[in-house]
Chain A
Amino acid sequence: MIIIVLCACSLDIPLEDEISGNDAIDTPEAAKEFLNAAYYNYSKELVSYSFLSDDFMPTYLMNKNNSTKKLYYWDAVEISYLAKSIWESHYHTIIQINSLLASKPYMILLNEDDQTSWETTLGSAYALKAMTYLELLQLFNDLSNKLGIILKNKIELEQLPRSSTNACISEIEHLLDNALELLEDKDASTHYLDYNSTLMLYARLKLWEENYEAAYDWVGKVLENKKLADGAINDNGYSSLWANESCNEKLFAFNIFTHPLGIYREDDNIGDEFCVSPLIMFEDNDIRAKYTILPHRMNVNGGDPTLRPLLGKYRTSYDDISPLDMNYLRVAEAYFIRAECLARKGEDKEAIKLLNELLQTRGATPLPEKLLAGTDLIKLILDEKQKEFVGEGLRYFDLKRMAYPINRLEVDKAEISKIISSNDFRRTLPIPDSELRQNKSAKQNPGWDDIIRIIN
């Protein structure tokens, strides 16, 4: 028994299934695995953004799903549910990245490879944090452009006020600068943000900020490194965008285990709740038609079954639900941003020429040189951008920043049911109650106060 007493004296028993302590992340490998958690958890709501934009038209099946229908018609309550989910998820990602950044002092680097690996991870983390902030800013920034989002740099519990829009922009730039410095000479990567994707993010930020000169420059840097193939129709390259293959056009795509269109699809063979808006049409030669539109025979409200243009991205047949990477940043966007900047500078011909470069690789008919000018030209560029990016969520942000009125179509009819006006308060998302209830320093966006109180 005495022997047992002597053996029994230690209480320092380590955990076996887990790693604990502030110094738990102390190798580049662990850091990479922790970064994986941030990428894995990132809320990928691109299809929801498309839903709120004019990419789609509802089919009769949407009548059966009350909440999806309300979301399509911009019901304030449904939007607030979406806002809550996005806000909570993005801040979770931010805390994960903050924890990763906090492990800097504990990192043990034994050799060159370790150093490279750690810098890549760190750079990618900065870029992801910037991307998260940028998306939050685009969604929650109040319409008067004064009040931005909450900037969170620590892990400890805080009750922070919303920072000004300008402060948010500076912070994002600061993060992007850090990322660029670290990622400059590192290998390219599809599933993590790398140097070129970060340049693309910078361009998006500047575009949103309406600093078109800077956007033009940043996008120029992207195009120096990554260009769509000259001249010939790039069928192979384009198809690998929608498959788990490496592709020159993909700057950054999330690696996911579900089908990207998962949430809005019915499980049986009847059809989808939405289809591509009939106002979006592709020419027969356009290779995008095959990959964007999936014709599927479905019933129609008050009519006979016909082939409906369902969203065909990420699937080759209706019941194909195999997991595919979800594209987030593509080279094509650089073309449109640059074209828009050229148009704003007054260089209309150059703008159209650039667009035609892209259209050629798609097999579409080039646009005539003297087509339009001024705001009409910008609208055309954005419409072409919509054609390219149907279902990928970019249209929503463009509509928002250009303050275009947004059309809501009738079910199964190409008629306008409702128009969301340019100063509708719903164009910016509400700060969720789970933030405001416990945080008295944060303020709600105008117009949302009563609604958040009624539903909660």
Chain B
Amino acid sequence: MKRLMRNYGTKIVWLLILIISKHLVYAQQTMESTFHGVVLEARSQNPIPGANIYAKDETKGCVTDANGKFHLEARQGETFTVSSIGFKSQTITLDKKHLTIELEKAMESLGEVQVVAKNINDIDMRKMAGAIESVDIKKLSSRPEINIANLLQGQVPGLVVTSTGELGTKPKVRIRGTSSFREGDAANEPLYVLDGMIISSEAFFTLNAEDFESIKVLKDAAATALYGVKAANGVIEITSKRGFEGKTQVSYRYNTGITFRGTRGVEMMDSEEKLELERLLKMSGTPGYEYSADYFLKEFPNNPGLDAMIANGQIKLDSLKNINTDWFKKLIINNRYSSHSLSLKGGTAKNKHYYSVKYDEQGGRVEGNSVQRFTGRMNLDYTLAKDLHLSFNTSAAYSLTQTPYGSSNNPTTLVYDLNPYEQHYNPVSGEPTTLYSYPNQTLDDLLNQYSSEGTSKRIYSSLNMNWRIAKGLDLSAIVGGDYLLKENTSIIRPDAYSQNIFKDAEKGELSSKKNTNFNFTSNYRLNFNRVWNKHDLTTSFSYDYFYESIDNLGIKGYGLASKVSTPAGINQGLEGHKRLSMSSQKQKTAQMGIGAALGYSYNGTYDIYGSYKADASSIMPADKRWNTAWSIGVGWELSNTEFIMNSSWISRLRLKASYGYTANLGGIAPSSVMPIYSYNADTYNQSRILDLNDYYNEDLKPEQARSYNFGIVIGLFDNLILESSVYRRTTEDALLSVNIPVSNGYSTMMRNVGVLKNEGIEFRLSGDLIDKNTLRWNSSISICYNQNEVLDLYDGKEYYSNNQNIIPDMQEGEPLDLIYGLESLGIHSIDGLPRYLSATGEQIDYTHNLTREDFKVLGYGTAPYTGFFNNTISYKSFTFNFDFYFSFGGIAKYNRSYVRDLDNANKNAVKGQTTDMWFKVGDENKIYHTVHVPSAAHTIISYYSSTKTVYKTDYLKLNSLSLSYRLPATVLAKTNHFVKYASISARAENLFTYRVEKDKASLNGIEQPVVTLGISLTF
């Protein structure tokens, strides 16, 4: 496969060379000559490697090498802009053959990089007062990460990305915590915008990081108010790369690596301990008990051959003890990752182009699990007239995901179930062995149950226009469409073990789905800008329209023919619950918005900004359709005041504040606000059944959120920047599906239940720790605190979601995810059950009638503190990166599912259970209670937490480590300057996580370490 790609890769490269040489010829015909020079830092005279030198139209240009040196093919008198991150740009004219350019440091903080607006909503006035952070996607895109969201982790204060570690699943992305009572992505995920077009979160996760110029994260109301109510949870704006005027530049990047197994979730027993556990529990059906002396003495006490039986049993046990199969190593595999990407950019003054293609594939933890993806992109820019620019962007993506397991018998859980004394094959006979952990089945029966294959095909296209109508007045518009087709077929083969109990004609299961999603966006903005004296005024008006059409069709059938694995093999004659069934969904929705914004700036020092947006959605009935959002913000730049200019330790100071309001019914289904009826697949008396979908609430009001944000940016000494924000968001009429008296026919209803507050504070300190000669160490450390609190519940002071709870799920004055529990005194040595300390100070057991006062707060379920520590060290041609990510302050309950009891002790158990569990009277200081739990004790033991059953989830993770080396100009010169830039890199991701207290009893959430080598070339 790799060789195949290389062959094709080579062919494509030669094809491109042909195209390029035409451009080369064109360039030479215009009589250019070579200019040399060096770019230095003004104050220290240190060279600046990697500085950009580009013509004004961004067509031709080059990049300085490790020593700050460059050479440029250009014509005499041409002007170029020299820029580098962290420095003030300069314009130079090519008047001499050798140039020395000195750049001054700009006190721009990492979060406020000035980027020319290529995104329709990216208007300058937002930056003054709003909380916007930029992510250096160019640096991140070289990481070997198939999922763009994981690249964002640990880059922006307040942005938290939690990945499940499972290949192909969506990670959880949250900006500034959750400010809703409702869980789940629909109510809490941010909005994703690509080049001015709104895209779904699924589409975002399939994007190719290398196609993008910048990613901005918008956190507060002033920043998000232009997107209206959809932006209630923050916005992530992505802008794609474009072409430039100049010689076509071709870049190729190849990465290959290995994904490792990752850490074991739980340390499991070895054979000796497991056999001993079976004996202690007297577990029938297990060898540890049935070959033990205890068993023979009990069952055959008077048998004359008793001694021989015991001896034979012991021999068997000894042979089993010698087998120690490491199922983690057997079932979880290392796998490879590779990606090829090729991009081409260039153009003329009037036409610019950017093309790219990328192919990548990643194998999963388990044999047979893999994802392969191919994406292509084409961004074209046309200058039709002096004042009219058009851009046309198209991209296409195809991906194929294969999963060899369903939700049951997933190899990642089998790792913890299979016993260490079991084997796949009998070493003597070569036959598969029958297991004890899954009686009557062999490992083959467990593994070959299910297979699923899914593809997704996507094409999206947009047309962008910018027209300068008159001086200070311009109109931007974007129109685009996005089409996604997802198909999935899942099969349980007729010869799978789970199908044995069915009749031949009913064996096997197949389900096939085809989901299409088409959406159309249009967005228009009219901008008016006037500058006079020291005043700068901008107003803008916008209109947007979004239309989406979903068409899903699925079938599910049983009785699959053994040789045909498509829907054609389904037995359509079956009746009852195995009959062929069909599911379908067709839905068309539209949204429309209008907005206005006003920004005013005086003397570059004082800024004020205000915006208003109204959005409507077709889903809701006409009276609940419109939602509004408005915001105002102020900013005060103090860097030029006398106080700051004279200060020796403060070099920069900026203050900003904003306030915003949104009223939003987001994430609410129409069936919650009005009666919606749909047809049931079943019938009654041979006619259709029409039923009401949900208990609706016609009085439902939109959630109203008010948010404040105060921010300060301080430049310390000459090279450090401290940024800090404080924010609070209060949501009134918060929506939640709550319990209602069942005499109303339903048990839950969506209602406006109360007021929720979400607040926090963020700090980031960044700058150069070392900056001399050729060694530079740039670092940034950030820490954020976020906490929510229920301010008010309309119906009483508490809310119980489940009738079993003594402790309410929500109470006024407390955060949402508080964990309550009992004070545990440990396992009692007489009966093996835990004892607790009651509110009155007495020792109680499970028979005690618990009251509210017996419970105390154990901690928070969501860690309130998160942060990161990112570093880049560059020395000559080498660059070394390492990033840490940490989180603390939260707790979670131990997952005790691998502490086995009598129902499942035939499966493997957690190491140490034999020594830590109570087995008989007199066992002291045990951690795990007895397996013989009276039914009255179940609630107190398994449902409630206690001080001994929760642990701290604090951790510090080494997110990524990488080393790269840029080939020096001298080496590149040997290729006759054909290769303009080349670098080799080695990277490692998810290498190491230090956890303060350990408990991870499943592979979810454990990310696999990936080590890759890569090479990147630019021609």
Instruction: Report which A residues bind B (CB closer than 8 A).
Output: 1, 4-5, 8-13, 15-22, 24-25, 30, 32-34, 36-37, 39-41, 87-88, 91-96, 98-99, 150, 152, 157-160, 191-192, 255, 257, 323, 432-435, 437-439, 442, 454, 456
Contact = CB atoms under 8 A, between A and B. Distances in A.
Given A4-B522, A159-B741, 6 more contacts: A9-B545, A17-B678, A21-B621, A157-B740, A255-B684, A434-B742
A19 B522 contact: no
Nearest to B935: A66
Contacts of A257: 576, 682
B694 to A, nearest CB: 11
Contact of A88 (B591, B688, B695, B742): B742
Nearest to B625: A11
Contacts of B81: none
A315 to B, nearest CB: 15
A94 B741 CA distance: 14
Given A1-B479, A257-B682, A36 B688 contact: yes
Contacts of A40: 680, 682, 684, 689
Contact of A435 (B587, B683, B742): B742
Nearest to B585: A17
Given A13-B590, A91-B745, A36 B618 contact: no
A323 B682 CA distance: 14
Interface string B425-448: 000000000000000000000000
Nearest to A162: B743
Contact of A434 (B465, B585, B745, B747): B747
Contacts of B690: 19, 25, 30, 33-34, 36-37
B522 A191 contact: no
B150 to A, nearest CB: 36
A152 B687 contact: no
B743 A456 contact: no
B677 interface: yes
7 contacts: A1-B479, A4-B479, A17-B586, A33-B687, A34-B691, A152-B745, A438-B740
Contacts of A18: 676-678, 693
Contacts of A8: 522, 545, 547, 590, 592
A10 B590 contact: yes
Interface string B453-483: 0000000000101000000000001010000
Contacts of A41: 691
A34 B688 CA distance: 9
Identify the interface centre among B479, B590, B675: most chain A CB within 10 Å of its CB. B675
A168 to B, nearest CB: 13
B301 to A, nearest CB: 23
B804 interface: yes
Contacts of B794: none
B689 A37 contact: yes
A376 to B, nearest CB: 42
Nearest to A437: B803
Given A8-B522, A13-B588, A40-B689, A88 B747 contact: yes
Identify the interface centre among B465, B586, B689: most chain A CB within 10 Å of its CB. B689
B533 interface: no
A305 B865 CA distance: 68
B744 A95 contact: yes
Contacts of B670: 15, 20
B587 A24 contact: no
A91 B742 contact: yes
A233 to B, nearest CB: 31
A88 B589 CA distance: 35
B477 A1 contact: yes
Contacts of B745: 91-96, 98, 152
B674 A21 contact: yes
Contacts of B477: 1
A249 to B, nearest CB: 19
A364 B617 CA distance: 71
A325 B586 CA distance: 34
B291 interface: no
> What secondary structure prevails in chain A residues at the interface with B?
loop
B676 A15 contact: yes
B587 A17 contact: yes
Nearest to A88: B742
Nearest to B524: A5
Interface string B519-535: 00010100000000000
Task: Please give me the 3 A-B residue pairs with the lowest Cβ-Cβ distance, nearest first.
Answer: A95-B745, A439-B741, A33-B690
Contacts of B319: none
Contacts of A432: 742
Contact of A191 (B685, B693, B742): B685
Contacts of A158: 741, 743-744
A16 B675 contact: no
A435 B685 CA distance: 32
Contact of A192 (B680, B685, B691, B849): B685
A106 B81 CA distance: 73
A95 B746 contact: yes
Given A1-B522, A36-B690, A95-B746, A438 B684 contact: no
B692 interface: yes
Contact of A152 (B479, B587, B744): B744
Contacts of A88: 742, 747
B538 to A, nearest CB: 23
Contacts of A21: 621, 674-675
B800 interface: yes
A128 to B, nearest CB: 12
A192 B687 CA distance: 12
A456 B804 contact: yes
Contacts of B197: none
B739 interface: yes
B749 interface: yes
A96 B692 contact: yes
B742 A87 contact: yes
Contacts of A16: 586-588
Interface in B575-623: 576, 584-592, 616-618, 621-622
A24 B692 CA distance: 10
Identify the interface centre among B670, B744, B745: most chain A CB within 10 Å of its CB. B744
Contacts of B800: 437
Identify the interface centre among B616, B622, B740, B741: most chain A CB within 10 Å of its CB. B741
Contacts of B804: 456
Given A11-B618, A15-B670, A434-B742, A99 B675 contact: yes
A18 B585 CA distance: 10
Contacts of B591: 11
A282 to B, nearest CB: 32
A15 B522 contact: no
